[in-house]
Amino acid sequence: MGGVLARRNGGDASFDQNYDITWGYDHVKSLDEGRQIQLSLDHSSGSGFGSKLGFGSGFINMRIKLPGKDSAGVVTAFYVTIYFTGICAYIRFYVDDTPIRVFKNHTNIGVSYPSQPMQIEASLWNGESWATDGGHTKINWSHAPFQAHFQGFDINGCSDHQQPNVQPCYSTSYWWNTRKYWTLDSARQRAYENVRKKYLTYDYCSDRPRYPTPPPECPQ
């Protein structure tokens, strides 16, 4: 049997269809018949979940409600842990359909770029040692437990279901691999530049205490 599965749910998948809890099991709550997941963080633990399968390519969406009140130092993360190489020169991250992060393929200058199937991960955890003002602002635990909510567990992706060969996942027969998505169009490029100008508060390329020698992908 073939090892590649194209998964596209109908728009209302429950959590258990595509994801598993990975840690902090007693800090995870299922709501709305599994169509919403609540992660909690307190003094004892945070929590997280991940996709059941790895994906060679895809377009992943998630609706996220961040913790309220004063949540400085509390990290709500949604990311891919083992990335993929496709036909595109970029990996793009969007918030409300606006690009906020573009990671370019710079393997020609020695920058690591995804080369394995990816798994989707989400977590809520204590990042007070570095996340806010370089670790100077600590979590106000009087507001605990901190809670983040996640919805939208559908996955548009091509998975490495039974074997590690994901070359078929790079095919332009998948809509997310078509030429339209290879680069940002002019409108999204302007939106991306506007986001960086107005809202960027941290850039690891400028973090000299953490990276005395900037990573090679950073402008010199």
pTM for this structure?
Answer: 0.79
Q: Which residue has the tokens 């039974």?
A: 162
Note the helical H segments in 8-161. Answer: 15-18
> What is the Cα–Cα distance from 19 to 49, expressed in whole angstroms?
7
Average pLDDT value over all residues in the chain: 85
pLDDT of residue 154: 92
**Range name among 55-59, 85-89, 177-181, 193-197 with the lowest pLDDT average:** 85-89
pLDDT of residue 86: 45
Question: Mapping DSSP to helix (H, G, I), strand (E, B) and coil, where does residue 176 land?
Answer: helix
Q: How open is the CA angle 46-48-54, to the nearest 5 degrees?
A: 160
Compute how many other C-beta atoms are within 10 angstroms of the C-beta atom of residue 112.
11
18 vs 135, which has greater pLDDT?
A: 18
pLDDT 10s digits, 94-135? 888 898 888 888 888 888 877 778 889 999 999 999 888 878
Query: Does the pLDDT of residue 54 top 60, yes or no?
Result: yes
Token pair, residue 71, equals 């949540």
Query: Does the pLDDT of residue 138 top 90, yes or no?
Result: yes
Query: Does the pLDDT of residue 162 top 80, yes or no?
Result: no
Q: How confident is the model at residue 11 (pLDDT cuts 50, 70, 90)?
A: low
pLDDT 10s digits, 80-93? 754 444 445 678 88
> What is the Cα–Cα distance from 186 to 167, expressed in whole angstroms?
30
> What is the Cα–Cα distance from 97 to 95, expressed in whole angstroms?
5
Query: Does the pLDDT of residue 66 top 60, yes or no?
Result: yes
- Which H or E element spans position 59? strand 55-60
Segment 25-37 mean pLDDT = 97
Q: Where are the domains of the chain?
A: 4-82+117-183
> What is the Cα–Cα distance from 100 to 54, expressed in whole angstroms?
24
**Range name among 1-5, 55-59, 95-99, 182-186 with the lowest pLDDT average:** 1-5
> Burial of 115 by CB count in 10 Å (0-12 exposed, 13-18 middle, 19+ buried)?
exposed
Q: Is 4-82+117-183 CATH 2.60.120.200?
A: yes
